[in-house]
Amino acid sequence: MTALTVRLPNSLHAKVRELAARDDISVNQFIASAVAEKLASMLTLDYLRQEAAKGRREDFERYLSAIPEVPDESERR
């Protein structure tokens, strides 16, 4: 495990302490969890962008055209 010194504004540190105590976890656990959530979010966006870049408009149009025309609920009444 790596030790890391992080400088936080006093107001942010107080809020982190408050929320960590509310969840009955340490400040370190709270920060590690927050970092893990941010990493997961960013890595997911990277993955989705990479997958989207592989997409082809022709394929999208072909699948879209296969969807049958069905009136929405407001048109059926």
Q: Determine what percent of the chain is predicted with pLDDT higher than 90.
A: 87
Does the pLDDT value for residue 20 go beyond 80?
yes
Does the pLDDT value for residue 73 go beyond 70?
yes
* Mean pLDDT of all residues in 10-37: 98
DSSP-based three-state secondary structure for 72 = coil
Q: Rounded to two decimals, what is the model's pTM?
A: 0.68
* Mean pLDDT of all residues in 9-25: 98
* 16 touches 8 (CB < 8 A): yes
Q: How far apart are CA 40 and CA 46, in angstroms?
A: 10
